[in-house]
Chains A and B, each alone.
Chain A
Amino acid sequence: MRKQLSLLLLTLAALPAWANLNVFATVPEWAALAKEIGGDKVTVYSATTAFQDPHRIEAKPSLLAQARRAQLVVAAGADLEIGWLPLVVRDSGNSTIQPGSPGYFEAANYVNRLDVPAVLDRAHGDVHAAGNPHTHLNPHNVMLVGAALATRMAELDAANGPAYQAGFKAFAGKWQTAMARWEKAAAPLRGVPVLVHHSSFVYLTNWLAMKEVGALEPKPGIEPSSGHLTGLLAKQQATPAKMVLRAAYNQDGPSQWIAGKAGIPAVLLPYTVGGTAEAKDLFGLFDDTLQRLLKALP
């Protein structure tokens, strides 16, 4: 009896050890960042994988169950998840993760957003009023989001605050070194004109000073049509692109078609963590992205 009681007390004492900060990340890149910062102090759930279009996720029962138990939602923001996340957050019955509370974090709020539309009209496709939400493909943005995220995590879980700050510092140190390496290696990509499937690489091309000369989607969120592709091909004469980029979750047909006709390589980029075998973490994501881009250079 006494043994059982002491066992129970021990278990209770051990509770804070498993009461990790539960993070619900909408996309793999921010899940990976939360893991870099939090290490074993956090339990991170990624709502999507690199093979899912983050615009088109459904408010699945499993997502509701995970959101119910989360202390922190880390979203890409800028309306990327507007089709499902608001519903998941509301129906989770979890007051700590509602927008406006510390448990709700949007990465896009901490970076300088590109492609902020001057005119809001659906005739331009599924535009995001707050700008392009695919912010993570500029590693400087990853740094900015990481600093803000570490602060937020420390605010939510003060006991582990120093651990999060230390986790971020360690990550930032390695990241700075890696960025210097990437920026050096990427020099040949400067000014290279490219076609993209969806406008999901604008932060990457902006960082590397590459030139986007066209998108396979006639308007964001509208599937490539043969008419539009033919038009793009015709434009190859005047403004030739050197390669066509797509994310792991995009269909390969349209980029293969135009690559074949134009005689340029179709490059699959991991887009996010898990998109290729090499993109195991954030470092691998950029290593592999650059390697694939450089390999495609003529």
Chain B
Amino acid sequence: MQKSFAMAALLAASCAAQAAGSDADLAAIRAQIAEMKQSYEQRIAALENKLAEAESKTAQPAQAPVVAAAPQAQASASAFNPEVSLILQGKFRQMKDIPNRGITGFFPAGIEGANKRGFSADETELVLAANIDPYWRGQAIIAMADGQAEVEEAWFQSLAIGHGVGLKAGRFRSGIGYINEQHPHARDFADAPLMYQAMFGDSYAQDGVQLKWLAPTPLFVELGAEVGRGANFPGTERNRNGANGSALYVHVGDDLGISNSWRVGMSWLKTKAGERSADFTDLAGVTAQGAFSGDSTTWLADFVWKWAPNGNPKYQNFKFQSEYFSREEKGALSCRSDDAASLCNVAVDSSYRTRQSGWYAQGVYQFTPEWRAGLRYEQLDSGTRDFGLNAANLAVDAYKPKKATAMIDYSWSEFSRVRLQFAQDKSMQGITDNQLTMQYIMSLGAHGAHKF
């Protein structure tokens, strides 16, 4: 400041020396000086204000907040521990006893505990997550049920690649469809939609690599690609080099005004199956084993729309979602049976070709902070099934499985929820199964954010 003052003075002096004779110049110099004077007076006034402010601050120390020096770090070493959460999920279920529960017209995807009735502790999920270093974050989810612990997910993801690129590797839920990435505790109904049960048994997880790219546009546009082991249904475990399953997807989404948000998606999944076996009933009424080897291609379309007044979902909100799939399988089917009465007693190999589809639509309305009610309707289509030579041996069911579900749930807080669900399940030809489910979902510890 002193320097600039001195410079200005010098400048003024030299100006004055050069144009001493001219009145006009003199006037200009006077104006300049006046301007400078005014500017300095302003600065001095500002400084005086500051001083007064500082004095008043010290005068009332109770009101002047202490300046916290930079971010206050937590001293304890436990701050470095991973975020831990445990999800308790149990239920009571009342329904018909059907030993080989399945979905008529669909290759069974192996649904665990499908016929479990009465009380059950279902599944306990342990979630561990943390940043590994500035570049990576890791997460593991262990699902524990009687006598077994299963690694549901175990992956790491990139934090520092930038340019909208996200890389994930390990075992992860595939990004295809909408609810596939959601854990059972985040779902709005006690069971997965029939569509997901028919497609994957419950949901599709992949051992592999996922690459995502988010476009730098105001509209949300996300592209994803995955390659992996493809060991889960509709693929099979095949001990070989290379990738067995690959997926591509695109998600687009935005807001509509302040109260509405939406997302649409399109996904493609291709897997290979080798000797994927399942029980079939042959035309003589005897159980025979069918084994499929070939390619499975699935297309999925999904749509979700959420509404909340003023975009504040706490008190009231409505969510509508719907998904559709179409799957084509091409390859060979071999039918065999040890039972002498079976038509497949002598193994029969044939071609196999199916094209099947299905959809569900659901709406969930939260009408108070605690209460939500929802309806879901779903229907599958066993579509075309061409068994080639085996058409002479195996029953080809043509059926449209249907299910209608209503639920109501109560949450004391974000961490505790109890749900009552009633479903009329017509997923098996000739059977109407009225199912009643009481379920609780309790989460302990750090609560990771849920996806949209």
CB distance B413 to A126 under 8 Å? yes
Chain A residues lying within 8 Å of B66, measured Cβ to Cβ, are 112
A 64-84 to B, binary, CB cutoff 8 A, 1 in contact else 0: 111011000000000000111
Contact with B along A81-122 (1 / 0, CB 8 A): 011111100111111101111000010011111000000001
B314 touches A56 (CB 8 A): yes
- In the bound complex, do residue B449 and residue A56 qualify as a contact, i.e. CB atoms below 8 Å apart? no
Chain A 112-157 residues near chain B, CB threshold 8 A: 112-113, 122, 125-126, 138, 140-141, 144
User: Which of A45-53, A232-240, A255-263 is the contact stretch?
Assistant: A45-53
Known: A56-B314, A109-B68, A223-B369. A90 touches B157 (CB 8 A): yes
Q: A90-B166, A122-B415 are in contact. List 20 more A-B contacts (CB 8 A).
A: A56-B312, A58-B306, A59-B449, A60-B261, A61-B263, A62-B255, A65-B215, A65-B254, A69-B216, A93-B166, A93-B212, A109-B72, A110-B67, A110-B70, A111-B65, A126-B414, A144-B68, A222-B412, A249-B310, A251-B315
Residues on A facing B (Cβ under 8 Å)? 48-49, 51-53, 55-56, 58-62, 64-66, 68-69, 82-87, 90-96, 98-101, 106, 109-113, 122, 125-126, 138, 140-141, 144, 173, 176-177, 180, 183, 207, 209, 221-223, 249, 251
CB nearest neighbor in A for B449: A87
A98 vs chain B, min Cβ distance (A): 5
- Using an 8 Å CB-CB cutoff, how does the interface string of B400-444 with A read, 1 for contact, 0 for none? 000000000000111100000000000000000000000000001
User: A141–B310 contact, CB under 8 A?
Assistant: no
Query: Is B219's CB within 8 Å of the partner chain A?
Result: yes
Q: How many residues of B contact A (CB 8 A)?
A: 68
Number of A-B residue pairs at CB separation under 8 A? 160
Interface residues of B in 68-121 (CB under 8 A from A): 68, 70-72
Chain A residue at minimal CB-CB distance from B72: A109
Complex Cα spacing A223 to B410, Å: 13
B214 touches A62 (CB 8 A): no
> Is B161 part of the contact surface with A, judged by Cβ < 8 Å?
yes
Contacts of A221 in B (CB 8 A): 413-414
Which one, B46, B214, B221, B310, contacts A52 given CB within 8 A?
B310
10 CB < 8 A contacts A-B = A52-B311, A59-B449, A61-B262, A62-B253, A94-B162, A96-B162, A98-B134, A110-B68, A110-B70, A144-B65
Q: A111-B68, A222-B413 are in contact. Are A93 and B134 (CB under 8 A)?
A: no
Select which of A65, A84, A140 is within 8 A of B219 by beta carbon. Answer: A65
Query: A65 with B218: in contact, given A87-B451, A106-B71 (CB under 8 Å)?
Result: yes
Partner of B313, one of A58, A99, A223: A58
| Beta-carbon nearest neighbor of A85 in chain B | B449
Q: How far is the CB of A196 from chain B (nearest CB, A)?
A: 17
* A53 in contact with B164 (CB, 8 Å): no
Indicate if the CB atoms of B65 and A112 lie closer than 8 Å.
yes
Complex interface: chain A residues within 8 A of B315 (CB): 251
- Contact mask B207-218 → A, CB, 8 Å, 1/0? 000001111111
Assess whether B63 is in contact with A51, with CB atoms less than 8 Å apart: no
A95 contact set on B, CB distance < 8 A: 159-162
Residue picked from B252, B261, B314, B412, most chain A C-beta under 10 Å: B314
**Chain B contact residues, majority secondary structure:** loop
Q: In the complex the two chains form, is A180's CB within 8 Å of B56's CB?
A: yes
Provided the pairs A56-B313, A62-B261, A109-B70 are in contact, do residues A183 and B214 lie with their beta carbons within 8 angstroms? Answer: no
**Distance in Å: Cβ of A87 to nearest Cβ of chain B:** 4
Q: Mark B308-322, 1 if CB is under 8 A from A, else 0.
A: 001111110000000
Cβ contacts B252-295/A at 8 Å (1 or 0 each)? 11110010011100000000000000000000000000000000
* Distance, CA A48 to CA B254, complexed state (A): 15
Within 8 Å by CB of B255, from A51, A55, A60, A122, lies A60
Give the complex CA separation of A33 and B164 in angstroms: 27
Contact residue among A60, A85, A100, A177 (Cβ-Cβ distance under 8 Å from B134): A100
Please give the distance in Å from B278's CB to the nearest CB on chain A: 37
Chain B hits for A49, CB < 8 A:
258, 310-311
Whether A65 and B214, one on each chain, are in contact in the complex, defined by CB atoms closer than 8 angstroms, is yes
CB contacts (< 8 Å) of B56 on chain A: these are: 180
A221 CA to B414 CA, complexed, in Å: 9
- In the bound assembly, the distance between CA atoms of A140 and B66 in angstroms comes to 10
Are A207 and B311 neighbours in the complex by a CB distance under 8 Å? no
A247 vs B442: C-alpha distance when bound (angstroms): 29
CB-CB under 8 A from B412, the residues of chain A are: 222
**A226 to B215 alpha-carbon distance, docked (Å):** 48
Given A52-B310, A58-B313: A176 in contact with B159 (beta carbons within 8 A): no
* B221 neighbours in A (Cβ, 8 Å): 65
CA A190 to CA B441, docked complex, whole Å: 46
Let me know if A83 and B161 touch, CB within 8 A: no
Which residues of B (216-250) have their CB < 8 Å from a CB of A? Answer: 216-222
B310 to A140, Cβ gap below 8 A? Answer: no
Q: Closest 9 A-B residue pairs measured CB to CB?
A: A61-B253, A95-B162, A61-B220, A93-B164, A51-B310, A87-B449, A109-B71, A65-B220, A52-B312
Whole-angstrom distance from the CB of A168 to the nearest CB of chain B?
A: 14
A122: chain B residues at CB < 8 Å are: 415, 444
Residues of chain B within 8 A (CB-CB) of A93 are: 161-166, 212-214
Q: Which residue of B lies closest to A179 (CB)?
A: B53
Partner of A140, one of B64, B262, B444, B448: B64
Interface residue from A83, A90, A96 paired with B137 (Cβ < 8 Å): A90
Beta-carbon contact of A141 and B65 below 8 Å: yes
Interface: B251 (CB within 8 A): yes
